Amino acid sequence: MRTDMLTSLIIANTEKDTANVKTVGGETFEPMIDEEIRGNLVDAFVAGTDSTANTFCYITYYICKHPNMKQKMISEIDSVFSNKPYLTSDDLLKLKYCEAIIKESSRMIPVTNFASRYMTEECEVAGYKWVSGTMFHLNIMGVNSHPKIWSNPEVFDPDRFYNVDQDDDKNKYSLIIFGGGPRICPGRKLAMGELLLLMASVYRHYNVELVNMDEPLKIVTASANNVQELKVRISPRIN
């Protein structure tokens, strides 16, 4: 598993090498002080609760609307966890189709609709010069559904991300789930692990169906997309 950015910074933050600078993914970061580490960890556990819960609702809605994809997901889960009494982190890494479903669900309905960036000095973006003090609002939904980047962006298709080499991605910022750059979400590894574990734990033992296949997902939209209601029918799987 590749080292998480937060882990890298924590390792760098030792008394004997506080001046050490880490390079992660081609970007340079200074060591974090203890207060910054503590704040990021609190954000990862507290702020990540609602976002993970909502994303799991998106996943449930879309795979229930697409039975063939749901069966492919269940087959992967069964093959990875066949006759295993418990799950390991290495097992979760094998759930490539489940990971693709998470990414596609997040592309269709991002947890956050926009991100803001305040310019502290003059800069050039898209060929235009912007003065210091400019506030940018990044349209996450617009990026995730841009027709020049995604073919048939309105169609739910996890195969966009299945067995795709992310290092060769045409644009690493064409999908915004956890942000990017120095301020990328420090809890992204935790969130992905939680979602994979939820998917494996639930669909390994239970069959989940929408009560009404024709009913749209009820979402309250503001700065974030919060699921207001999702009616499902749950029953034990018959193996």
> Is 185 labelled a binding residue?
yes
Question: What are the pLDDT digits (tens) for 40-99?
Answer: 777 666 666 778 889 999 999 999 999 999 999 999 999 998 777 777 888 888 999 999
What is the pLDDT at residue 69?
97
Cα-Cα-Cα-Cα torsion 182, 183, 188, 189, nearest 10 degrees, comes to 30
Q: Distances from the Cα of 229 to the Cαs of 58, 144, 211, 223, in angstroms? A: 11, 24, 12, 18
Please answer whether residues 77 and 200 qualify as being in contact, where contact means their C-beta atoms are separated by less than 8 angstroms.
yes
Residues recorded for the chain:
239
Average pLDDT rounded to a whole number, residues 162-181: 72
Q: What is the rounded distance in angstroms from the CA atom of residue 80 to the CA atom of residue 94?
A: 7
Q: Phi, psi at residue 23, to the nearest 5°?
A: -115, 120
Question: What are the pLDDT digits (tens) for 107-158?
Answer: 999 988 888 888 889 989 889 999 999 998 888 889 999 999 899 999 999 9
The whole-model pTM stands at 0.77
Residue closest to 164 by CA, chosen among 154, 155, 174, 178: 174
Place domain 47-236 in its CATH homologous superfamily: Cytochrome P450 (1.10.630.10)
Kindly state the helix (H) or strand (E) to which residue 192 belongs, with its residue range: helix 188-205
